[in-house]
Amino acid sequence: MDKREWVSHFIESRADEFIELQNRIWDFAEIRFKEVKSASLLMKMLEANGFILEKPVDYLETAFRATYGSGKPQIGLLAEFDALSGLSQCADTINQEKISTTDNGHGCGHQILGSAVIAAAIALKSYMETHELSGKIVVLGCPGEEGGSGKTFMAREGVFDELDVALTWHPMTHNAVFGSETLANCQAYFKFKGVSAHAAATPHLGRSALDAVELMNVGTNFLREHMPPEARVHYAITDTGGRSPNVVQAESEVLYLIRSPKIAEVNALYERVCDIAKGAALMTGTQVEITFDKACSNYMPNDTLGQIIAEQMQVPKFGDEDYKRAERIRGTFKTEEIENDIVMAEGIMGETTSEFKKAYRQKVLADVALPYSARQKRLYGSTDVGDVSWIVPTAQFYIASAAIGTSMHTWQMVSQGRTSTAHAGLMAAAETLALTVIELLEHPAYIERAQEEHREKLSGNPYICPIPSGVYPKMP
């Protein structure tokens, strides 16, 4: 049998194990840097299948490195497994219904992401042994992608330096190569300290930290007119200072996330936001304490690797129940949500025939692969895979694991994450990843070409980690 048949047969023969793996991680729903049970489960499966395990970063408890083979090339597979807070949701339902035992949920599909990487790695080990292929598979467990930039901390510690290429994927509503550039970002806490007082009897004695937060937010909103058009600034008030309106709030805190196409632009905006915070403190007679939390670089797709993935792309094998489920869940979407997802798909397609696009609009599940384009529209989100892409040639892809129109970070995504729809995505992703690695192992010239492209894109600008030394992950 050829390699496609071999990989498909191997992964399908162990489907029950891999599906159970992703279901249990969905159940755990552990958030950034607290993925203790999830990471342990993934490591146990790798170790049971002959991988050598180690902990690459002392202060990241849930990061891991698992290897098989030796020598060159070293191909890194990036696994994520963290959930999101506030997205608790029962599985396989069209009603928004929280699980009583947790506040968290896998609204970005990382339970499928990490499980498919492990499935691909196990298949690769068996294939390499059977076909006497040399090289080294390096599975990197990467915690805290959601709001934590775990890979950026790992990059700072040199975890990716010895790799020749890195590959990963992401659950989505489409099957396509992820060829979009993303935004770099940074995140920081602004904690204001004032003086409490009786808001009615002695208001003149108080200095409101909450006033300072509100003034900072107003000032930043005025800044939006004077930012690069691609830039984004978001904030969340994490501490309002109390629940009593007749007490002047002595402490208050706001968390800011700042994005722009390049990290230098992010840093410039960050300095301006810091100045606004200092101005708000001055206006209110309070003090501000600024704590840099994390950052990540923009993602640089590698066209050479992207083309290889496109050639190896496998699509999910959905069943009748999956199509019925997709029809049901789409009844909970707004028209603009479905249209936004279709427009995103069209942006991925690039120069594609209008006939294909028209036919694609009729689908409820993506059971075909989108044509590959190296000229995709910018994705106005961020990923810490970006930092890996600055260090080593990196590529990633999407596999449909939910109905078309499903938005990431929603209860609908969580609901579909423990169903046969997600399981079909898991299998297709594992096969695509394994086939891509085999192609690279069998044709080392592709790796050399990808590395040459990487050097050209860097243009002599070496990677500089956007997280300063001395900054460590803040646990939620």
Q: Taking a C-beta distance cutoff of 8 angstroms, is the pair 211, 284 a contact?
A: yes
**According to the model, what pLDDT value does residue 357 have?**
82
Lowest-pLDDT choice from 54-63, 126-135, 372-381: 372-381
**What pLDDT digit, counting tens, does each position of 4-18 carry?**
999 999 999 999 999
How far is the C-alpha of 256 from the C-alpha of 246, rounded, in Å? Answer: 28
- How deeply is 133 buried, as exposed, middle or buried, from its count of CB atoms within 10 A (0-12, 13-18, 19+)? middle
∠ CA 169-174-178, nearest 5°, is 40
- R_g (Cα) of the chain, nearest Å: 23
Give SS3 for 352.
Answer: coil
Cα atoms in the Cβ-side hemisphere of radius 13 Å centred on 379:
21
**Residue whose pair of structure tokens reads 């290889």 in the numeric block:** 308
Q: Give me the helices (H) in 132-241, please.
A: 145-148, 150-156, 209-223
How far is the C-alpha of 398 from the C-alpha of 237, rounded, in Å? Answer: 33
**According to the model, what pLDDT value does residue 178 have?**
94
Across the range 100-121, mean pLDDT stands at 97
How far is the C-alpha of 37 from the C-alpha of 57, rounded, in Å? Answer: 18
**According to the model, what pLDDT value does residue 227 have?**
96
**According to the model, what pLDDT value does residue 436 have?**
98
Mean per-residue pLDDT over the chain, rounded:
96
Does CATH number 3.40.50.450 belong to domain 184-296?
A: no
Domain spans in the chain, listed from the N-terminal domain onward: 3-182+298-458, 184-296
Indicate if the pLDDT at residue 374 is higher than 90. Answer: no
Across the range 118-137, mean pLDDT stands at 97
Indicate if the pLDDT at residue 249 is higher than 80. Answer: yes
Q: Taking a C-beta distance cutoff of 8 angstroms, is the pair 115, 441 a contact?
A: no
- How deeply is 9 buried, as exposed, middle or buried, from its count of CB atoms within 10 A (0-12, 13-18, 19+)? exposed
**According to the model, what pLDDT value does residue 348 have?**
86
Which of the four pLDDT bands, split at 50, 70 and 90, describes residue 1?
A: confident
Q: What is the DSSP letter of 205?
A: G
**According to the model, what pLDDT value does residue 170 have?**
98
Tokens of 447: 């790796």
| Fold designation for 3-182+298-458 | Aminopeptidase (3.40.630)
Residue in 245, 33, 23 with CA at minimum distance from that of residue 112? 23
Give SS3 for 259.
Answer: strand
Buried b (16+ CB within 10 A) or exposed e, 83-116: bbbebbbbbbbeeeeeeeebebbbbbbbbbbbbb
Tokens of 404: 């078309």
Around Cβ 232, how many Cβ atoms within 10 Å?
A: 17
**According to the model, what pLDDT value does residue 350 have?**
72
Which of the four pLDDT bands, split at 50, 70 and 90, describes residue 67?
A: very high
**According to the model, what pLDDT value does residue 352 have?**
66
How far is the C-alpha of 129 from the C-alpha of 151, rounded, in Å? Answer: 30
**What pLDDT digit, counting tens, does each position of 276-311 carry?**
999 999 999 999 999 999 999 999 999 999 999 999
**According to the model, what pLDDT value does residue 161 have?**
97
Q: Give me the helices (H) in 313-443, please.
A: 320-330, 335-349, 354-360, 385-391, 411-416, 420-442
How far is the C-alpha of 149 from the C-alpha of 384, rounded, in Å? Answer: 5
**According to the model, what pLDDT value does residue 296 have?**
97
Indicate if the pLDDT at residue 156 is higher than 70. Answer: yes
Distance of CA 79 to the CA centre of its chain: 10
Indicate if the pLDDT at residue 419 is higher than 80. Answer: yes
Indicate if the pLDDT at residue 353 is higher than 70. Answer: no
**Identity at 373, one-letter amino acid code:** S
Distances (CA, A) of 158 to 80, 161, 167, 192: 18, 5, 17, 35
Indicate if the pLDDT at residue 191 is higher than 80. Answer: yes
